[in-house]
Chains A and B, each alone.
Chain A
Amino acid sequence: MSTPGTVVFADTNENDQLSLVDILDHVLNQGVIVRGNLVLSLAGVDLVYIGLDVILTSIETAMRHMNATSGLSDEAS
């Protein structure tokens, strides 16, 4: 929990500080007009959010896997 009165800054160049929901917000914000609506209207925004919360663990695993396979990217950036 942050100290009151301070801004929480999360730098995209340090991926581990970002929450998945922020990534989806930006990547899918304008990205998926037709399919995005379909996804959201099927699940409802709240449900999507809850769903994302629930699957965070599997994402962490996926991201660890990505770090292992794409260590190259971290060096390149």
Chain B
Amino acid sequence: MYLYGVTQLRPATPIVQVGVDLQSAVEAIGSEGVTCWVSRVSAEEFENSLAKNMENLDWLATASVAHQRAIQAISQHSDILPARFGTVFRDERSLADHIQKHLKQISRDFKRVKDADEWGIKIFESAPTPNPVPKVSSGKEYLMAKAALLPKKQPAQIPAEELKHFEGALSDIAEESAPAGRISSGQRGLLFQTSLLIKRANRQRLETALKKFSREWAETRRIECTGPWPPYSFVSQDSKPQ
């Protein structure tokens, strides 16, 4: 039984959503006054072979996109505490035991993420103004000329003062921030990234602040913002079952 997350409310109409395995249906189970969102997956795929499957990038990518979609669909109806990817319980009983054991932490986390979403912010070094690739006489020269146009593998740092100013502006808007991007830290030209917990009422302020910095940095840096994400990075480890 794969757990997607826990909500306080249960929507009046059922959510029709396919699960992490692209086969099972997401269903709601009430436990200790909260609603657990699960789907019944193959124990072989998600328990016995989980570690092995996670080293298979095709499998990992498909499953994590499906996991995200399921949680996103639930979060349209209610604030959700997302479970750790790959959280599997043997049966309803073991899920209920876990919820009961972590009820206090779960209730604190609901307060923490109330009316808020996670947002991802990345700053990239701007690609140099595209110079036309010079005339070349061989494939090798062409590739070398193209490579010279790519952002450097080790981009210049953002000056500390500027970064402090940027982070300060965001911390005025965000409830919390969390380190981000263990997967994408190898992206070319990436200078800085963070995850923020932002109240929905402050979404416009975030956009305004990012646009202001983006204009200031127009020549040198590019800002990318993704969201709203379920608060993956702002749920206590304790309340995330293993």
Contacts and interface: CB of A to CB of B under 8 A. Distances in A.
B15 to A, nearest CB: 6
SS of A interface (majority): helix
Nearest to B15: A76
Given A10-B225, A52-B61, A66-B66, A72 B55 contact: no
A29 B180 contact: yes
A35 to B, nearest CB: 5
A22 B120 contact: yes
Interface residues of B, number: 62
Given A8-B224, A48-B186, A58-B58, A25 B15 contact: no
Given A21-B187, A55-B58, A76-B73, A66 B22 contact: yes
B8 interface: no
A74 B50 CA distance: 28
A27 B215 CA distance: 30
Interface of B: 15-18, 22, 50-51, 54-55, 57-58, 60-62, 64-70, 72-73, 76, 84-86, 118, 120, 126-127, 178, 180-187, 195, 207, 210-211, 214-215, 217-219, 222-229, 232-233, 235, 237, 240
8 contacts: A24-B183, A24-B184, A35-B86, A48-B183, A49-B187, A50-B186, A51-B57, A59-B65
